[in-house]
Structure 1
Amino acid sequence: MRLKRIRQVAACICFVLVTLLFLDFTGVVQGWFGWLAKIQFIPALLALNLGVVVALVLLTCVFGRVYCSVICPLGVFQDVVSRMGGKYKKNRFRYSPALSWLRYGVLALFVAVCGAGLWAGATGLMGWAGLLEPYSAYGRMASNLLAPFYRWGNNLLAYMAERMDSYAFYEAEVWMKGLSVLGVALLTFVVLSVLAWRNGRTYCNTICPVGTLLGFLSRYAWLKPVIDTSKCVNCNLCERNCKASCIHIKEHKIDYSRCVACMNCIDKCPKKAIHYVRPSAVAQVAPEKGGPDNGRRSFLAVASWFAAGSWIRAQEKKVDGGLAVIEEKKIPERKVHLKPAGAQGVHNFASHCTACQLCVSACPNDVLRPSSSIETWMQPEMSYERGYCRPECVRCTEVCPNGAIRSLTVAEKSSVQIGHAVFVYENCVVNTDGVECGNCARHCPSGAIQMVPSVSGIPDSPRLPVVNEERCIGCGSCENLCPARPFSAIYVEGHETHRFI
């Protein structure tokens, strides 16, 4: 009971905090607990965080698959659903043989796809591999299915607070960032919920590549649940409550490659015949003492809740002064998709990003959104219809756990050129409406745009923007603040490889 409670408390803390990483739009949670995303196995592996990878491997070799039952948010999500299903039907599980051909087949496919994306230069394959990666799968569910409700709740609090002359909360915009990603998130939620409700950890033990890899290591774990045959009366309670379906009580065997160390079997055994110890310890002392005392596990856990206000801009107005409807901006056709500063370029980003959507959730300027292109499906890209990439903002570089967006200082971010502005004369209000503007030049943070007379030799003629491509960093302030509709008269074209200017 004690071991199970420790696991449950640690799992709940990790699960709640990881979920809040995808819901919080103020940056408070990311600042304090962003490291929880960076200790997920596949993100750490892609980011070459060898210290984290080695620590997780050692954790598994000592304690078994506690990563799957404590740290992995998708694993804990399945436990929550399975627990809810258990309230309607008790003792519903039974032993089932391992589908090794399927487990290792999926793992081999996952490794092949990741290898092609990383080393063979196959664009966008890492996004497809992210369909199977547990952390990314949960991230898409949290950011697409839970985040809207979280923001609606915040907006309700902001509305109520405003009526009481309090401005502790501000409204946050709620908008659908990608229909295809929403569909994938919804399908993932339904499939995993049905599997977990009916069969517990089916996904973890048949499909999940991380579960298969750690399962291979957990066979040799130092501490394991071990059945003391001298005490066991074959009541079947351990087998019927094993959500991993890995206890074969007739043979008194446990498949440790599928055991997630949930401790349900220890909790349910009425004879205390199952102990979490070294297997050799039970063999040596069981005849005399009936098994040693339960061993203790060390879990990575944090304990605190956060209290933060929401300080972002008010919800975008849809009308101008309540009189004229503002036409929505449309995304221009870019030859090269824009990637965040820190991505180093299109190839590095595509070969590391598993489309977890954490940077999309964290972006305070609504610049990032999932791609609908087949080549880079679900991987974030930048567009400036709702905001622009402020040079002083480095939020996405701080939260990315995969190494797809490298960490940058504010000074470095302001010097990275991710693209350059392109002027389209036909769309400019100087041409269409015959009025002066200059918004793009006024708001350019790098001073890359200058206004010059449209007619050479006539200083009083309407002025048009000229872009200095060597100074432009591609932040998109000109594109976002251009009054032309539906297409801006100036837009940013992406660069295949980023460079410092």
Structure 2
Amino acid sequence: MLRKIRILLAVACFAAITGLFLDFTGSLHPLFGWLARIQLLPALLAVNLGAVAALIVATLLFGRIYCSVLCPLGVLQDGAAALGKRARKNRYAYSPEKRWLRYGVFVLFVIALVAHVHAIVVLLAPYSTYGRFVRTLLAPLYRSGNNLLAGIAERMDSYALYPVENWLPGLLALLPLAVVAAVCLLAWRNGRTWCNTVCPVGTLLGFLARFSWLKPVIDTSKCNGCGLCARNCKAACIDPKNHTVDYSRCVACMDCLALCRKGAITYTHRRAAAPAKSAVQADKGRRNFLIGAGLLAAGAVRAQEKIKTDGGLAAIADQKIPDRKTPIVPPGAEGLKHFGIHCTACQLCVAACPNRVLRPSGDLTRLMQPECSYERGYCRPECTKCSEVCPAGAIRKISPADKSATQIGHAVWIRENCVVLTDGVSCGNCARHCPSGAITMVPSDPQRPESPKIPAVNTERCIGCGACEHLCPARPFSAIYVEGHERHRTI
């Protein structure tokens, strides 16, 4: 019964989180957005103390149920393991904990988090890895299916569905796909190998799970030593010879409870059904608990540290292409420093952006983190979708009024690309569509008021929305583009 309840909850959470990354209408986030906010690493970076405390308490009570119910990458691995199990039953076996590997990867992850080595963090974070997988592989397929159905509905005079812009990801997208493929291959062959040897979230929760109140406990008086539980344990944590369970690796899947034909395994309070620990084991357990608590506290302190930026504006220079010296991050991100520290590159904001402004960065220092680009659209002042969905606090929630008063960059005019001077035509497209009124058309020759009018940018009013860059008719390169600000300003 417990196993069925666990599977039901896991499937429901998995479907809801997947839907968040596929939904382009914004209708699912008010219902299921909390599932993204309670993921451990985003909650820690957002200093969401309520979510972090709830996950710690749940782990101390029930073990690693986060890994078997809430973590989408963990549930995906269970699906891959189930497919592998059909090919060969009773295929697992107990293996001792590879402590050096688990702790080594965890220490590397913490160092990368503190030192801002972003590439390592995004590749090891489980929730973000799954999010990039959905956005890269499943989202284009989902949008293609939607557009096909929308076309069919339109021929039947029904407009219940509408087509959306679809595009295929670039070569950089192969990286998250390769990571997820490797994780699923490991799960297909050996079960939860990734969770118990590589995943830093699994290692951290494993510290706490050693002391969980409820655990799978083997009753030696009923056990006949058949080993069926160990041969079906995808966490490889059941030692049938010694009748012990490595609770730091047990993901509370409840499979062993359902498989034991003698009813020798129960999910209960360990002290009531198992012999007491020796003094050495107790001392060792206390040390592990203190280490885990210390690392968790260090992560919380790290997330709350003061953010210091120079606040300077990027140098303005005439350029023929929008080769930005400073990347543009969304309003609410406060600046490159804050955004770089907190963003886990889950790309939920990319999936939620209705204007298709956000896209993953290819820079190794900001690998997969979203940045603004205005080829497909511009950042409309009334839209705050990205700030509403960010689970890690990288984009703080703002109102449309706050967004209209936030400078994320400033427009730069490129004289040699402007059609007014190159083609001798009257334009003013950038000035007409500027929502902040930061662009005015002035005579190209101040001495001759009747001369062709060119744009003049008031950088004090420009908010960097990109409307001018997106709507500029100059081709192939825009005559005006947005240069980002390292630290956002309020006007």
Work out whether the TM-score is over 0.5: yes
C-alpha separation in 1, matches of 2:274 and 2:176:
47
Letter in 2 for 1:482: C
State the partner residue of 1:170: 162
Partner SS for 2:486: strand
Match of 1:212, SS? helix
**What is the match of residue 187 of structure 2?**
196
Q: 1:384 aligns with which of 371, 374, 378?
A: 374
Alignment match, 2:345: 355
Deviations 1:414-460 (A, max 9, x none): 11100011111110110111100111000000000101111223332
- Is the helix fraction higher in 1 or 2? 2
Find the residue that maps to 1:265 and give its secondary structure: helix
Whether contact under 8 Å (2:118, 2:367) holds in the other structure is no
1:280 to partner: Cα distance: 2.1
1:35 is displaced (CA, Å) by 1.2
2:443 to 433, 453, 460: 453
C-alpha contact 1:94 1:239 (8 A) present in aligned 2: yes
Percent identity over the alignment? 63
2:287 corresponding residue in structure 1: none
The 2-side partners of 1:178 and 1:339 are apart by 20
Code of the residue aligned with 2:39 in structure 1: it is Q
* Letter paired with 1:137: T
The whole-number CA distance in structure 1 between the counterparts of 2:365 and 2:241 is: 51
Q: Which residue of 2 aligns with 1:64?
A: 63
2:415 counterpart residue number: 425
Q: With structure 2 as the length reference, what TM-score do the two structures score?
A: 0.90
Alignment map for 1:20-419 (pairs within 5 Å):
20-117=19-116, 125-180=117-172, 182-283=173-274, 332-419=322-409
Take 1:405 and 1:388, find their aligned partners in 2: how far apart are those partners?
18
Contact 1:331 1:383 in 2 (8 A): no
Aligned to 1:466: 456
Identify the residue that residue 317 of structure 2 maps to in structure 1: none
Deviations 1:8-53 (CA, angstroms, capped at 9, x unpaired) = 0000010001011111111111222111111000000001101111
Deviations 1:228-270 (A, max 9, x none): 1111111111111100000001110000000000000000000
- Contact persistence 1:392–1:410 (CA under 8 A): yes
Alpha-carbon shift at residue 331 of structure 1 (Å): 6.0
- How many residue pairs are counted as aligned between the two chains? 447
Deviations 1:159-182 (A, max 9, x none): 1101101111111111134421x1
- For 1:339, the aligned partner's letter is V
Residues 80-128 of structure 1 show CA distances to partners (whole Å, capped at 9, x for unaligned) of 11111111111111100110000000000100110112xxxxxxx2343
Structure 2 distance, partners of 1:50, 1:246, is: 31
| Structure 1 CA distance for aligned equivalents of residues 357 and 170 of structure 2 | 13
Distance in 2 (CA, whole Å) between partners of 1:227 and 1:396 is 48
Structure 2: distance between partners of 1:228 and 1:373: 54
Deviation at 1:283, TM superposition (A): 4.4
Give the 3-state SS of the residue equivalent to 1:87 in structure 2: helix
Counterpart check, 1:476 vs 2:466: yes
**Cα deviations across residues 258-290 of structure 1 (Å, max 9, x unaligned)?**
000000000000011100000122249xxxxxx
Give the letter for the 1:358 counterpart: L
Tell me what 1:6 maps to: 5
The amino acid that maps onto 1:197 is W
Cα distance in 2, alignment partners of residues 97 and 247 from structure 1: 9
SS of residue paired to 2:396: coil
Counterpart contact for 1:128–1:377, Cα < 8 Å: no
Contact 2:6 2:69 (8 Å CA) reproduced: yes
Aligned to 2:475: 485
Answer yes or no: is the 8 Å Cα contact 1:178–1:372 preserved in 2: no
Q: Decide whether the 8 Å contact of 2:119 with 2:364 is kept in 1.
A: no
Q: CA RMSD in A?
A: 1.2
Q: Is the 8 A contact 1:127 1:379 kept in 2?
A: no
C-alpha separation between the residues in 2 aligned to 1:189 and 1:105?
21
